[in-house]
Amino acid sequence: MSVLLSLVIAVAALYVIVYYNVVTGDRCKSFATLKGKTAVVTGSNTGIGKATALALAKRGARVVLACRHKEKAEAAAYDVRSESGNNEVVFMQLDLGSLKSVRLFAETFLRTEPRLDLLINNAGVMGAGRTEDGFGMAFGVNHLGHFLLTNLLLDRLKRCAPSRVVTVSALLHHFGTVDFSLLASYKDLVSGQSAWNSVRAYCNSKLCNILFTRELANKLEGTGVSCFSLHPGVVYTELCRNMKSWLQLLLIPMAKLFFLDPEVGSQTTLHCAFQVGIEPLSGRNFSSCALREVGAKGRDDALAKKLWVASECLTGLPISTTF
């Protein structure tokens, strides 16, 4: 009995240590109001994105839920309007796994919305599969889709400056790599579709998010548009919905025990979105509402520039006229 009790105490102690020292994060302390501002949040029908959209709506922003699934997004928009008391919450269809859809979204948005003050690149996937354009799912959605979307909306962001681009990355970027030979051969940064390669592909895409933000900041210097990447914490969301069922069954119990809920997980996104005074840190990375250094690969300016040019080519953007 004493052995069993000791085991229970040890497990409980481990939980407390992990939860309070690794998992929990700080909260956004800004009291900024966003009346008259417009925000786009990708992947906002669930998880961190929905929590972010709700917080923005509560502060008075007009919020565009940029999502793939119409029914889920319209239900989420209804929830956000009801809970926030803000009727300026709308859905616009966006499938980041389709470059055509990204272009159609941008065209519709620019035709119907006069402002863009905040672009929150939140959506993310982990799992096997290919995008409509044949790219690996994680690379195509998490990086390329957001890369094209941001570029297509930049003029509107500049016109509404001071404005911000916030891209949700992850601590797993430390394990990421960018292999351009693989990209040329497989239209992906991994060479297979196994469960392990799905995890590697996710890490690689999160490194791309870091590098994209770094190079974007360099290109936007002096425009009044600042950009930030962030690690939201270890959050229980639908991120792994594309993974194999057996792998989800292994992850879900641990996620429910140790991971943050989406509302807490949205705090660093909100900090990057409207915390006053962080503009000089454009291009940098945050976690737990504080500045965090990224891995060595994430600070490689040459790699960031090379990825930028490759991404222009892959998305069909003219290299000489992107900015």
pLDDT tens-digit readout, 128-168? 999 999 999 999 999 999 999 999 999 999 999 999 999 99
pLDDT tens-digit readout, 281-312? 999 999 999 999 999 999 999 999 999 999 99
Pick the CATH number of 30-315 from 1.25.40.80, 3.40.50.720, 3.40.50.2300, 3.30.56.10: 3.40.50.720
Per-residue pLDDT, 6: 47
Q: Residue 258: is its pLDDT beyond 60?
A: no
Q: Residue 82: is its pLDDT beyond 80?
A: yes
Q: Where are the domains of the chain?
A: 30-315
With CA atoms as reference, report the closest residue to 123 among 238, 25, 201: 238
Q: Residue 80: is its pLDDT beyond 90?
A: yes
Q: Among all residues, which ones are annotated catalytic?
A: 202
pLDDT tens-digit readout, 190-199? 999 898 999 9
Q: In the chain, where does DSSP find H-type helix? A: 2-18, 47-58, 70-84, 99-112, 137-138, 146-159, 180-186, 195-220, 245-258, 262-265, 267-274, 301-315
Q: How many CB atoms lie within 10 A of CB 119?
A: 28
pLDDT band with cut points at 50, 70 and 90 for residue 261: confident
What does the mean pLDDT of the chain come to?
88
Tell which wins on pLDDT, 129 or 8: 129
Mean of the pLDDT values across residues 258-271? 83
Q: Residue 21: is its pLDDT beyond 70?
A: no
Q: Residue 31: is its pLDDT beyond 70?
A: yes
Per-residue pLDDT, 251: 56
Tell which wins on pLDDT, 251 or 66: 66
Rounded CA separation 280/287 (Å): 17
SS3 readout for 222-279: CCCEEEEEEECCCECCCHHHECCHHHHHHHHHHHHHHCECHHHHCHHHHHHHHCCCCH
Per-residue pLDDT, 212: 98
Q: Which residue has the tokens 């080519």?
A: 313
Taking the model in full, what pTM does it have? 0.87
Q: Residue 33: is its pLDDT beyond 70?
A: yes
Per-residue pLDDT, 150: 98
